[in-house]
Structure 1
């Protein structure tokens, strides 16, 4: 099995909902940041990829039909080149401000902690070996530091998001690219993948409130 969908959207653009939707549509797993927490040895692979040592994408992502969210979407160029027939899915929020508000209250909380040098391991990662935990922190530092330079600087974070959208739009051929936002639901995805629209409502998961609750339960992660 090869990837049929390569996500190119930043975190907090509906990627958890997309994961659930694509798994339903394609009948196979969708790689997402959550996979890294369930497969902690993957963190070293992503860390090394950021340093330029790419894995065999077909072998590494074997069994997955799609990939969304970081770290897959950070490597959208490399992954989409490895799967040239895959749809490139650029997820985004309805406005830059809404995206930043969501990031600021959720994902960036943990990223700022890691990048500040705080080595406190939250309960959700207590099962990791020291090597796995170290690779996980190095992966986070590489991804967020590389993307935003300074995750505490609102203007730099927003500029990075807008620059990313422009780069994907300018690079991916129109016939391979689908721009999508959460309010779009099933229709654009199903049309692009030539699949029927499911009868059930589109999944809307991992709201800002839900993720904030998990962060609080995890002690700030």
Structure 2
């Protein structure tokens, strides 16, 4: 099959699994109950991009916590998220068929996520996705997270595919912006954000709520 793109780069949370509300609830619980922040659930959702440390620094300011404290709160948040989400863990509708089609067509695939390896491994291993994603770029692999393009350019470099031959799958406005900054087009999932909430859309080829019936690009 002739396809326009030679590689697909997938964000993880909200793009492969519909779990962003579980992340938001875990973060809001930490921020409100553990850290006594004055922040609403919707305000928490808006801060959910990039690395865990960056979220804490956006809410409380740089230097408020030590690195060890931020690492500890980050891991506690992930433990609460995983405990809540595990009974519900599944791929977004239609994705299993879409991944298999892409795999059979020889399209290379990678994960490009701001999540930590602890969370990426949780998803890939519980859903047996390693076959599709031999390359993983996590929060630990980049200096700057999205909207900086490094997450996606690094994935493309490891796969050995030119940036303009990569299609990014994202659910977050900052992720679509990162794709644009990498010179890549994107497909946007509306699992957490509406199309109107994406401030950059000129590199988005399509908005979808899931992968059902989706053809290769």
Q: Normalised by the size of structure 2, how large is the TM-score?
A: 0.35
Bigger relative contact order, structure 1 or 2 (CA pairs below 8 A, ≥6 apart): 1
**Structure with a larger share of its residues in helix:** 1
TM-score of the pair, normalised by structure 1: 0.35
